[in-house]
Amino acid sequence: MTIQTIKLSKLALSPLNVRTVEPSKIEAMASDIEAHGLLQNLIGHEKGGKVLICAGGRRYRALKLLQKNKTITGSYEVPVDIRDEAEAIELSLPDQTL
């Protein structure tokens, strides 16, 4: 596990992320991030010059909404736990034991 700060412009949502999110939840998360900052890192893996986010998709989408609204810029530093692709995908899966 390696947590690095990576510019928002270098991140992308992984197409392998299996979770879905309601738009209203993204707006609420964006408001929370704007008020308190990003409190938890994202999880991703490197591929094609980008870091693809496999876990923390709602936080990523909220950051992109803040960028779209010009609250933050693409140079905003995001803490990302970098994993290998297989592990990142495994961590993105919902817990089926609950």
Q: pLDDT at position 97, please?
A: 45
**Based on C-alpha coordinates, what's the Rg of the chain?**
13
Confidence at residue 85, expressed as pLDDT on a 0 to 100 scale: 82
Residue 22: predicted pLDDT: 81
What is the model's pLDDT at position 96? Answer: 46
pLDDT profile of the chain (98 residues), mean per 10: 92 81 88 96 93 92 97 97 84 58
* Candidate CATH numbers 3.90.1530.10, 3.30.460.10, 1.10.3720.10, 3.30.390.30; the one for domain 2-92: 3.90.1530.10
Q: For residue 5, what are its two tokens?
A: 């700060």
Domain boundaries, the chain: 2-92
Phi, psi of 72 (to 5 degrees): -130, 170
Contact 7, 74 (CB under 8 A): yes
